[in-house]
Amino acid sequence: MVQLRTKQLRRKIRELDEHILEDYKKIRTEEKVKRDYAKYEKNFMKRIKTGVKNLQPLINKATKNFSVYKGKGGKPKLSLNKRLRMILVKTLVDKSNRNMAYLTEVFSMMKGVDISYKTVERFYSNQEINLALHNLFILLLKKKNVNNIDGSGDATGYSLIISKHYATEAQKLKEKVKEQTSKKKIFVFKFAILDLKTRLYVCYGTSLISEKKAFEKAIKMLKDLKIKINTLRLDKYYSFPSYTKIFPKATIYIIPRKNSKLGHGITWLRTMKKFIQDTTNYLREYYKRENSENSFGCDKKMFGWKIQQKREDRIDTAAFIRTIWHNLIWLHKD
């Protein structure tokens, strides 16, 4: 058995920066096929229609035999089924210019609903609705038989004010954009793990503090759902041995930092061994992480890059609904 040394790892990282990445990018460019936009739009329309078609039956299941102790107070004007339907449809049509062409069926679901905007806003902090959303999320994973995955993890940010755009700020601030220390929060961080086979998100987390906090919430959700990770790709922000230890039975693909070294446990050693000994194939697997970046990009194209809610619990619900709609739309396979 060949014994690896830290100097071998450092040498490989230098080679990566100096020429391997450039060579690999050329291979990637040759492998990529130019997108057929007519086909893309056709498949997008099919996914939207499939999502809308499946929405009401799934809502019925998510709210079936549902009971929450409310204590004193008036009864809601609308049933839980209708409230859940309303908050989901609102998210889909809020950014409507592109979506309206595909949504003629969805408006029939709103027949007989007459309530104020403030009532709808309160839905975002309603316990019943949040529990029903969680049920709906689990039903979507079960519908696609998602229980063990080859995954990709990434984070993004949604703006809470109109004057700040997350992607623009990320380019300017680099790693500094991943945390917020001021009292006034301008972004909400969202981390999600994507199943590469089905393109469904299997867990998510949000935070007004940092990307790390969002990651921790997502991992807690992943453990609660008992979904097994076979392989996982994470960006350089997670290039530390402590993150590989979270997934001891999985194969992890990350790009190590310049000062990385060995001697941090078997999972980290196994990861670095793959990186050193089979770099090209390692990079090929690592860059499947682009699926997460593309998914976030499509989500923002669908639902916008801003979240309008101001309270933290309502911000989290708004982000969760976008996660659910992403999964609904990917029920249809191209």
Domain that holds residue 283: 6-30+40-63+78-329
Q: Is 103 a residue whose pLDDT tops 60?
A: no
- 70 is a domain residue: no
> How crowded is residue 270: how many other Cβ atoms within 10 Å of its Cβ?
15
- 1 is a domain residue: no
Whole-angstrom Cα Rg for the chain: 22
- 183 is a domain residue: yes
- 35 is a domain residue: no
Name the band, by pLDDT with cuts 50, 70 and 90, for residue 44: confident
- 135 is a domain residue: yes
Q: Hey, what long-range contacts does 219-227 have (CB within 8 A, 24 or more apart)?
A: 219/246, 222/193, 225/138, 225/141, 226/147, 227/141, 227/146, 227/147, 227/148, 227/149, 227/202, 227/203
pLDDT tens readout for residues 191-239: 999 999 999 999 999 999 999 999 999 999 999 999 999 999 999 889 8
> How crowded is residue 83: how many other Cβ atoms within 10 Å of its Cβ?
23
* Residue 6 backbone class (left: φ over 0; alpha: ψ -120 to 50; beta: rest): alpha
Four-point Cα dihedral 101, 105, 108, 114, nearest 10: -40
Work out how many domains the chain is built from and give that number: 1
The whole model's pTM is what? 0.85
Instruction: Kindly list the strands in the beta sheet with 187-195, ordered across the sheet, starting from the edge strand earlier in the chain.
Output: 201-207, 187-195, 148-159, 228-233, 251-253
- 72 is a domain residue: no
Q: How far apart are CA 231 and CA 285, in angstroms?
A: 9
Lowest mean pLDDT among 27-36, 223-232, 290-299: 27-36
Q: How far apart are CA 226 and CA 142, in angstroms?
A: 12
Q: Is 31 a residue whose pLDDT tops 80?
A: no
Place of tokens 């689990």: 138
Name the band, by pLDDT with cuts 50, 70 and 90, for residue 101: very low
For residue 229, list its beta bridge partners.
149
pLDDT the model gives residue 98? 46
Q: How far apart are CA 156 and CA 19, in angstroms?
A: 29
Q: How far apart are CA 303 and CA 292, in angstroms?
A: 16
- 69 is a domain residue: no
Q: Compute the mean pLDDT over every residue in the chain, rounded to the nearest whole number.
A: 82
- 229 is a domain residue: yes
pLDDT the model gives residue 96? 44
pLDDT tens readout for residues 321-330: 999 999 999 9
Name the band, by pLDDT with cuts 50, 70 and 90, for residue 110: low
